[in-house]
Amino acid sequence: MSENPAAVPVKKLANGAEIPMIGLGTWPMDDTEAGAAVLHAIEAGYRLIDTAENYRNEEGVGQAIARSPLARSELFVTTKLNAEWHSFDGVRTAWRHSIERLGLDYIDLLLIHWPNPAQGTYVDAYKGLAKLLSKGKVRAIGTSNFTQDQLTELIDATGVVPDVNQIQHSPLWMRADDIAFHEKHGILTQAWSPLGRGAVLEAEPVTAAATAHSVTPAQVVLRWNLQHGASPIPKSTRPDRQASNLDVFSFELDEAQMAAIDGLDGTGPAPADPMTFGH
Ligand code: A2P
């Protein structure tokens, strides 16, 4: 992956691919919004674009990628599959559908979107992902919203470490235990809704740190995610916000600022429960 204008650092994943440390989240954009937002984002320096079957915007994301002047190899595209495909063969079908909607011939990172434990077939799905990885149909595989026990099951069943587990993480929902577990196993933590859906941006510890560093509250919160070991994928349709959300590598929050922001944990609505919620 060559250098990009925003100089976003990359990280090497367990199965060898390199992933940018910040990406663009695309939920809840529709195809039209995603088409415009992804093109702006690529111009601003984003190289990681995160979509999902369930967002119903893979076609819009794919059209933006097709319009972008960048070579396919310069971009890192993540998508996620639904419970319907949680079987060895089903994953291959989900991959094909996503490939067709995106207009690509490989996916960089394919995730199981939710574990859906009541259905109980995520291990079969993960075996299907491991097969796609071995065939070069995807460059990295992983999960979203998986618990530590579920990740252990996947590793024990296949011997293949998920490259990524994407979890809901923001100052409202800290997940230090899970991040430590991921780090121990070489799994990258990605943070979805890293800005707490925007709800955390007016909190005093966030605005105080923003003033101290002459940055925006969103930059503070994204930096906070990174300093806790979580790679954020903030969503914005606005080019100005997209650009500033990427510009978080030239300042560092000190211990007191981190601790003050940590104090917001649990002050928002309850996070989604992956044992009962999923699709
Ligand atoms: P918008 O798309 O209008 O910019 P999360 O990624 O945590 O789910 O948060 C996404 C929400 O935060 C969206 O409503 C998005 O709105 C908003 N948002 C994204 N970046 C910023 C920013 N830099 N400042 C304020 N709000 C932001």
Tell me, letter by letter, the H, E, C secondary structure of 21-43.
Answer: CCCEECCCCCHHHHHHHHHHHHH
Least confident of 76-80, 119-123, 195-199, 265-269: 195-199
Asked whether residue 154 is assigned to any structural domain, the reply reads yes
Asked whether residue 246 is assigned to any structural domain, the reply reads no
Please check whether residue 192 is in contact with residue 143, taking contact to mean a CB–CB distance below 8 angstroms. no
The question of whether 55 is a catalytic residue gets the answer yes
How large is the angle between the packed helices 217-227 and 255-262, nearest 10 degrees?
100
| CA 233 to ligand 1 center in whole angstroms | 11
- What is the rounded CA–CA span in Å between residue 38 and residue 35? 6
pLDDT, position 92: 98
pLDDT, position 4: 61
Please check whether residue 233 is in contact with residue 193, taking contact to mean a CB–CB distance below 8 angstroms. no
Asked whether residue 210 is assigned to any structural domain, the reply reads no
Residue 235 carries which DSSP code? B
CATH of the domain at 67: 3.20.20.100
Residues facing 111 on adjacent strands: 80, 142
| CA 185 to ligand 1 center in whole angstroms | 31
Residue 206 carries which DSSP code? H
Asked whether residue 79 is assigned to any structural domain, the reply reads yes
- What is the rounded CA–CA span in Å between residue 13 and residue 17? 5
Asked whether residue 103 is assigned to any structural domain, the reply reads yes
CA distance readout (Å), 240 to 216, 237, 247: 11, 9, 11
- Is pLDDT of 178 > 60? yes
- Is pLDDT of 6 > 80? no
Q: What is the pLDDT of residues 246-262, one digit of tens each?
A: 999 999 999 999 999 99
User: What average pLDDT does range 35-55 have in this prediction?
Assistant: 98
Residues with CB under 6 A from ligand 1: 25, 193-198, 201, 216, 218, 234-238, 241, 244-245
Q: Which atom of ligand 1 is nearest to the CA of 240?
A: 23
pLDDT, position 233: 98
Ligand 1, atom 4, residue with closest C-alpha: 236
Asked whether residue 23 is assigned to any structural domain, the reply reads yes
pLDDT, position 198: 82
Question: Domain range spanning residue 43?
Answer: 10-193+230-236
| CA 237 to ligand 1 center in whole angstroms | 8
- Name the residue among 82, 40, 44 with its Cα closest to residue 61: 40
Whole-number mean pLDDT of the chain? 96
Asked whether residue 63 is assigned to any structural domain, the reply reads yes
Asked whether residue 252 is assigned to any structural domain, the reply reads no
Q: Which atom of ligand 1 is nearest to the CA of 201?
A: 25
- Is pLDDT of 60 > 60? yes
pLDDT, position 197: 86
User: What average pLDDT does range 14-40 have in this prediction?
Assistant: 98
Domains of the chain: total: 1
pLDDT, position 49: 98
Structure confidence at residue 5 as a pLDDT band (50, 70, 90): low
Residue of 46, 55, 122, 126 with catalytic role: 55
